[in-house]
Amino acid sequence: MTAIAAAPSRTRPRGLQRLLATELKLSMREPLLLFWGLAFPVGLLIVLGIAGPKKPQHSLGGVKLIVAYTPIVMVFTLTILALSALPAALASYRDKGYLRRLSTTPIGAVRLLAAQIIINFALAASAVILIALVSHFAFSVALPRQLGGFLLAIVLTMGAMLSLGTLIAAVSPTQRIAAAAGSLLFFPLMFFAGLWVPQAEMGAGLRDVSHYTPLGAAVPAVQNAIAGNWPGTVHLLVLAAYAVVLCALAARLFRWER
Amino acid sequence: MNETLTYTTAQTATDVVVSVDDLHVRYGDTLAVDGVSLSIRRGEIFGILGPNGAGKTTTVEVIGGLRRPDSGSISVLGLDALGDRPQLRQRVGIQLQSSELPDKLRVAEALDLFASFYSDPADPAELLELLGLAGKRDDRFANLSGGQRQRLSIALALVGRPELAILDELTTGLDPQSRRETWRLIEGIRDQGVTVILVTHFMEEAERLCDRVALLHHGHVIAIDTPAALAANAGAGQRISFRPSAELDLAGIRELPEVRAVRRNADRIVVEGSGDLVAAVIGTLVRAGVIPEQTRIEQSTLDDAFVGLTADAAASEVADNTREESR
């Protein structure tokens, strides 16, 4: 174990790759995460597709129930990952002193944060693709016709929600509080997304309010893109604004140590 | 003799690995570190000792580049501890007090992960073997005992093959057997040229392992020396007790320059002092025609030095305060 001079530039990618692989493995060891982030949304979609009315619904703006709910389930999945998985991992890493431990190594704690965000982004993207495929092949919901608009809407939604998740981790003193804050925010956010009352069935005033919430803007943006139209500019701007503001706040408030 | 001296000086000048000068760190209103200066040479095990709150951990955190000092200059391996942090992290291994890993991370995964961060890491499998964790490769962190976690933490600090290893509370939580094994491991890496900074409050550990120690108290360095020299200079010095074979006049012993105190304890005589105490006392006894029976000689330890020096420091602080108040 003699000391040998450093050659850091060559090793960085290797370290980050290993970090990503390790974080992915750790995510796969969370059964609750896999259930809520993958099994439950796909199951919900299948139940809605089989048990729900097959005819276009007047109250849903003339579309079938499964068509209205496919984007809602996508957004639901992103939200579970962003508000539950991400803050739980980051807050527990901080509580344990793992972030601090990493900050003594060449990889640094910043890359760990990046790895967590990338992994959750990848998990969310896989879930969205899976949901799109299931609803297409099982219930003949069309694949997004405006693919560019769809991807933009999904990426902005993920940006807004992952920033919100990081912000929760940043301001929560402990892992417990982070978990509580995540689930507390989940219900109002999903309400505006239309999980219980689809936006088409909401009153005009409530619908307007919901369009200024992150998920209330995300659902119509995704719906439009699936239907073949470019998502509404206001919806995209609302999502982008949430992503930028929440991300800046999270970066400002994040504490590496307890 | 002259040659040796020159050689030693040159050695010292070129081989300083850590140099801390007039370091101050403040937490709110309290000065955690108040003017600490020390220099650590290549290949030595340097102990940092002191009671809780003395500023030990803060000092090594600054050396490791984890904490920004309020003032003072710190050079580590010829690098600026603040400016060259990426370089430092590559060459300095740090074991932190009470830092945990993700619950579901397995032992071998943790070591492979940390090894991937460094340009020239040690072989993780070999390190696990050395630290007696080979059988725990596939255990999750959450299922490890306190001692196993501690050993894993040491392995993670060493996996980058650092030139300088900073170990904070190295053997806390280890059983005596693992503690001894860990000491051998640390001596092993020192013998391979790694410089080690050891923060500890176990005097036995410092005496056994450290080439030199710094005693910290209330953010000040109150002594830096080898453990043996510190112990020898400590107030207690040495103590001899024996049963005289015949009646003995204590005045003759009391007059010896090496002797500080003499007392009778039942049929035994206890002499305390320093320097060449044993030879002086025995010489006096022989001249008086008295034979010492059941002789016991106790050497004062680093523990005594620690207690003595921190008490002195506390007393002089009280004196300072009193003087200030009376002004």
Alpha carbon separation from A58 to A65, A68, B267 (Å, rounded): 10, 12, 110
More confident: B59 or B84 = B59
pLDDT digits (tens, 9 = 90+) for B14-36: 589 999 999 999 988 888 999 99
A169 alpha-carbon distance from chain centroid: 15
Residues B252 and B162 in one domain: no
More confident: A181 or B297 = A181
Residues B187 and B246 in one domain: no
With CA atoms as reference, report the closest residue to B67 among B87, B86, B81: B81
Residue B162 neighbours by CB under 8 Å, 6+ apart? A3, B91, B92, B93, B194
Residues B276 and B216 in one domain: no
Smallest CA–CA separation between A2 and chain B, in Å?
A: 6
Note which residues in 89-108 of chain A have CB less than 8 A from chain B. Answer: 89, 92-93, 96-98, 100-101, 103-108
Q: Looking at residue B11, what is its pLDDT?
A: 43
Residues B169 and B264 in one domain: no
Q: How many CB atoms sit inside 10 A of residue B9's CB?
A: 10
The answer to whether the Cα torsion of B217, B221, B223, B224 is positive or negative is positive
B268 alpha-carbon distance from chain centroid: 36
Q: Report CA Rg, chain B.
A: 24
The CATH number for B176's domain is 3.40.50.300
Residues B155 and B292 in one domain: no
Q: What is the per-residue burial (b if ≥16 Cβ within 10 Å, else e) of A64-100?
A: bbbbbbbbbbbbbbbbbbbbbbbbbbbbbbbbbbbbb
Q: Looking at residue B3, what is its pLDDT?
A: 38
Q: Report CA Rg, chain A.
A: 20
Tokens of B37: 């200066």
DSSP, collapsed to helix, strand or coil, labels residue B5 as: helix
Q: Looking at residue B305, what is its pLDDT?
A: 74
Residue B126 located in a structural domain? yes
**CB distance B96–A26 less than 8 Å?**
no
Residue in A1, A6, A98 closest to B91 by CB: A6
pLDDT of residue A258 exceeding 90, the answer is no
Q: Provide the residue range defining the domain that includes B218.
A: 16-229
Q: How many CB atoms sit inside 10 A of residue A40's CB?
A: 15
DSSP, collapsed to helix, strand or coil, labels residue B250 as: coil
**CB distance B193–A3 less than 8 Å?**
yes
Residue B324 located in a structural domain? no
Check: CB of residue B245 under 8 Å from CB of residue B286: no
Residues B216 and B152 in one domain: yes
Residue B47 located in a structural domain? yes
Q: Looking at residue A105, what is its pLDDT?
A: 92
- Listing DSSP states for A133-151 in one string gives HHHHHHH-PPPPSSHHHHH
| pLDDT classification of B199: cutoffs 50, 70, 90 | very high
What number is the average pLDDT over the span A107-126?
88
Residue B143 located in a structural domain? yes
Looking at residue B91, its amino acid is R
Q: What is the C-alpha to C-alpha distance for residues A252 and B42, in angstroms, rounded to an integer?
A: 40
pLDDT of residue A10 exceeding 50, the answer is no
pLDDT digits (tens, 9 = 90+) for B216-250: 988 989 889 998 888 776 655 678 889 988 888 88
pLDDT of residue B54 exceeding 70, the answer is yes
User: B101: nearest CA in chain A?
Assistant: A98
* B98 contact A CB<8A: yes
pLDDT of residue A184 exceeding 70, the answer is yes
Residues B214 and B247 in one domain: no
* A1 contact B CB<8A: yes
Backbone dihedral angles phi then psi of residue A52, each to the nearest 5 degrees: -75, 165
The residue ranges of every structural domain in chain A are 15-50+57-253
Residue B304 located in a structural domain? no
Where a domain ends, among B176, B203, B229?
B229
**CB distance B113–A4 less than 8 Å?**
no
By percentage, how much of chain A surpasses pLDDT 90? 52
Mean pLDDT over all residues of chain B? 85
**CB distance A15–B94 less than 8 Å?**
no
The CATH number for B287's domain is 3.30.70.1340
Strand partners, B71: B24
Q: What is the C-alpha to C-alpha distance for residues B68 and A77, in angstroms, rounded to an integer?
A: 42
Q: What is the C-alpha to C-alpha distance for residues B202 and B259, in angstroms, rounded to an integer?
A: 30
Q: Looking at residue B311, what is its pLDDT?
A: 75
Q: Which of B101, B113, B130, B192 to mutate against chain A (most A CBs within 10 Å)?
A: B113
More confident: A57 or A41 = A41
Calculate ∠ Cα A193-A199-A204, nearest 5°: 125
* pTM of the complete model: 0.80
Q: What is the C-alpha to C-alpha distance for residues A239 and A221, in angstroms, rounded to an integer?
A: 10
Q: What is the C-alpha to C-alpha distance for residues A126 and A158, in angstroms, rounded to an integer?
A: 12
Q: Looking at residue A5, what is its pLDDT?
A: 36
Domains in chain B, number: 2
Q: Looking at residue B234, what is its pLDDT?
A: 62
Check: CB of residue A150 under 8 Å from CB of residue A144: yes
Q: How many CB atoms sit inside 10 A of residue A247's CB?
A: 18
| pLDDT classification of A135: cutoffs 50, 70, 90 | very high
Smallest CA–CA separation between B222 and chain A, in Å?
A: 29
Q: Which of B76, B89, B112 to mutate against chain A (most A CBs within 10 Å)?
A: B89
Q: Looking at residue B10, what is its pLDDT?
A: 38
Tokens of B218: 């209330």
Q: Looking at residue A158, what is its pLDDT?
A: 94
What number is the average pLDDT over the span A102-124?
88
Q: Looking at residue B115, what is its pLDDT?
A: 94
**CB distance B101–A3 less than 8 Å?**
no
Residue B286 located in a structural domain? yes
Q: What is the C-alpha to C-alpha distance for residues B10 and A171, in angstroms, rounded to an integer?
A: 53
Tokens of B3: 């040659």
By percentage, how much of chain B surpasses pLDDT 70? 91
Q: What is the C-alpha to C-alpha distance for residues B195 and A199, in angstroms, rounded to an integer?
A: 66
Q: Looking at residue A9, what is its pLDDT?
A: 45
Alpha carbon separation from B210 to A53, B44, B307 (Å, rounded): 78, 8, 18
More confident: B142 or B247 = B142
pLDDT digits (tens, 9 = 90+) for A42-56: 999 999 989 888 788
Residue B321 located in a structural domain? no
pLDDT of residue B326 exceeding 90, the answer is no
Smallest CA–CA separation between A21 and chain B, in Å?
A: 9
DSSP, collapsed to helix, strand or coil, labels residue B167 as: strand
Mean pLDDT over all residues of chain A? 87
pLDDT of residue A61 exceeding 80, the answer is no
Q: Looking at residue B192, what is its pLDDT?
A: 85
Lowest-confidence pick of A84-93, B26-35, B66-75, B78-87: B78-87
Q: Looking at residue B15, what is its pLDDT?
A: 86
Residue A98 neighbours by CB under 8 Å, 6+ apart? A92, A112, B99, B100, B101, B102
User: B90: nearest CA in chain A?
Assistant: A106
pLDDT of residue B150 exceeding 80, the answer is yes
Q: Looking at residue B322, what is its pLDDT?
A: 60
Residues B110 and B76 in one domain: yes
| pLDDT classification of B200: cutoffs 50, 70, 90 | confident
ipTM (interface predicted TM): 0.84
* B176 contact A CB<8A: no
| pLDDT classification of B7: cutoffs 50, 70, 90 | very low
